[in-house]
Amino acid sequence: MATPNVVPRADQEGGLGTSAKSWGKLFIENPASGGTAAATISNLDVDQLALDINATANTTGNVIEVTSSALTTGDLLYMIHAGSALESSGRLLFIKHLDTGPNANVTTSNEILYTTSVSTTGTSTKTNLELSMQNTGNGNTGTIIYTGLYNNMTIWNNGGVGDNNNITQYAIHNKILYGTVAKNVGLYSEIPDGGMDVKFVSSADTGDYFSIATGAAGATTITTVDDDAAAAHMTFTIDGDMVFSPAGTVTFNTSSLSIIDDTTSSATQGGKLILAENDGAVMADNHRLGVIEFKGAEDTSNTLSIGARIQAIAQDAWDGSNNDADLEFYTTNGTTESLVLKLDAAKAASFAGRVVLNTDSSVLFMGVDNDVSFTHDGTSGLTIAATPISIDSTGSLDLSSTTGDINFQDGGTNQIAFEMDATATEVAIQQKVDGDDLVFKQYDGNECARVHDGAGGGSADFGPATAGYGFGIKRPVYIVSAGGGTIITSILAQNSGAIFACDASANSIVFTLPAGTEGLTYTIALTRANGGSTTIGILTNGAAGDNLDNFYLTGINNATAYSDYDGDTISIPSSAVAGTRVTVTCIKSGSNEMWLAEAYSSANTLLVIDS
């Protein structure tokens, strides 16, 4: 016969033992066909414990142990509170650890452990702890705050807060020991797009916060907020390098960007901005190292267009001994970018257009010691200072003055002036220092011509002091001696004005004039009388005897001239004496030249014209 149930005489009467007399053990095993719970406790006393387990004597044994090995869809521990909302001090599960000996102990107050030693194959998803909150009401209104997990840590020392630097607190400590490293995730947050995945608030003002929000396509926004000011600064203190490797562009939407080096200043310190190219290959000729572009919006659709850029370009292939590069500056005119300045590896600056220093009294210096300068005089003038100054032009060198005045100075004082438009049809060269003469010299320093100032130049012999100005020249003199034989030579056009001092006492001399050009003039003078059979001949440039080049005679003094007025040769005959001279001047050029011959001699026969 089956064991009957132990039933009290009336509902809710009796008990198993008392506070003074307790049962030593309780064993309950519900058979497979029991049909009810193995143990049911129904507590109707609102201020009494439904189940009180006192295990103060336990040290190594578990206080409550619930084991299971066949669960599939059931729960190992299932607790339900179906009443109204809990009050602030109410808890569905309250676990309290009263630690009376914390020193030198490493403890874990609560642990939920999932473990298996069975190799896993296929697709397997395991969750060790899941906290779920649901509110499916459709009429939620007002201010509602739900917290899925709340960690509240209060660690005091010596009666104060945070007064012991040796106390370390971890509100959440995630640790993953094994697995595929690339797929290990310490914190996984899935929040509807537009919400904050992580939010950190200030303990001084919870309205001040830092947040990270991830949205569609993985777009992530990091936000700092100071709810009553604008001091929500973000500071990165990096013990090493900070590397950004975006697939696109890094954009800073701010009006300023500062790079500050807070180490001790020196010749090698200071904020540094590095633009580099490194694809694993050597920099090649004409490849760009880096660029700074200046852009602005050209419409209301945020279309950014370039207005200027600065870039560095490698020159030649780089290696350990060659890192040549040019720095180029571009500007945009319309929509066309143009190179306006290049600073090349050879230290040269090349400007594509004008160089403008638009400040009065501005100065452009050159040289290591700034020993060459171009100085704006404060109005519209320019002073060039250098020692010396050389101007080398492969073409014409033009000096243009709006006023028509070009001055040459010595120590800032005008010495010579060119006046191009002082008087119509005249160009004047004027000595600007009273009392100085203007002297023309040839290469060896010999004087060729002089413009006399005349100041203080008068005397009893030469007239009053104010009458001494004028122009004096020194004509070149060539000594022609035929002592070694007959001389036949040509006179050049650039010899115009020269005097040929001739000695034909032993042998004859023959001069051929250049092709006639109006104004060419030469003087042939005898330093000694001609010999008994020697002469001095003067021929025009045409073929001898063609009678196309003509000499005309004038000023025949104390002598007889034989002339048919049509010939190309004149001769100073053997009878000519020392001091005889002939000046020939071209008065007509062309195929039928005309030369004027002016002659002087004390002899009877002066010239013979060959007809």
Q: What is the mean predicted confidence (pLDDT) over 458-486?
A: 71
pLDDT > 70? residue 431? yes
Average pLDDT over residues 211-225: 93
Q: Does the pLDDT value for residue 59 go beyond 50?
A: yes
What is the spatial distance between Cα 529 and Cα 185, in angstroms, rounded to a whole number? 126
Please name each of the domains of the chain with its CATH number: 179-236 (no CATH), 288-385 (no CATH), 405-473 (no CATH), 477-610 (2.60.120.640)
Confidence of residue 459 (pLDDT cuts 50, 70, 90): very low
What's the rounded Cα separation, in Å, for the pair 510 and 523?
A: 14
Mean pLDDT computed over 205-224: 93
pLDDT at 46: 86
Q: Which pLDDT tens digit goes with each residue over 97-155?
A: 888 777 767 778 888 888 888 888 888 888 888 888 888 888 888 888 888 888 888 77
Query: Tell me, what's the pLDDT at 41?
Result: 87
For the ranges 249-258, 314-323, 399-408, the one whose mean pLDDT is highest: 314-323
CA distance 559 to 581: 12
Calculate what percentage of the chain has a pLDDT beyond 70.
90
Q: Averaged over 463-487, what is the pLDDT?
A: 78
pLDDT of res. 91: 82
pLDDT tens sequence across 556-592? 544 444 443 456 788 888 888 898 999 999 998 887 8
Tell me what the pLDDT averaged over the chain comes to: 85
Residue of 603, 597, 552 lying closest to 574 (CA atoms): 603
Q: For residue 373, what are its two tokens?
A: 């300068």
Percent of the chain with pLDDT over 90: 35
* pLDDT, average across residues 252-268: 89
Does the pLDDT at position 304 exceed 80? yes
Any idea which of 34-48, 485-499, 514-528, 594-608 has the lowest mean pLDDT? 594-608
SS3 content of the chain, % helix, strand, coil (to 5): 0, 30, 70
Confidence of residue 606 (pLDDT cuts 50, 70, 90): low
The string of pLDDT tens digits covering residues 359-399 is 999 999 999 999 999 999 889 888 888 989 898 999 998 88
Decide if pLDDT at 456 tops 60: no
Question: How many beta carbons lie within 10 A of that of residue 516, not counting itself?
Answer: 24
Is-contact 472 452, C-beta < 8 A? yes
Round to whole Å and give the CA distance between 500 and 125.
124
Task: Say how far apart CA 414 and CA 407 lie, in whole Å.
Answer: 6
pLDDT the model gives residue 144: 84
What's the rounded mean pLDDT across residues 476-484? 92
User: Which pLDDT does position 446 carry in this prediction?
Assistant: 84
Q: Tell me what the mean pLDDT of segment 244-253 comes to.
A: 86
At residue 603 the predicted structure's pLDDT band, cuts being 50, 70 and 90, is: low
pLDDT over threshold 90, residue 294: yes
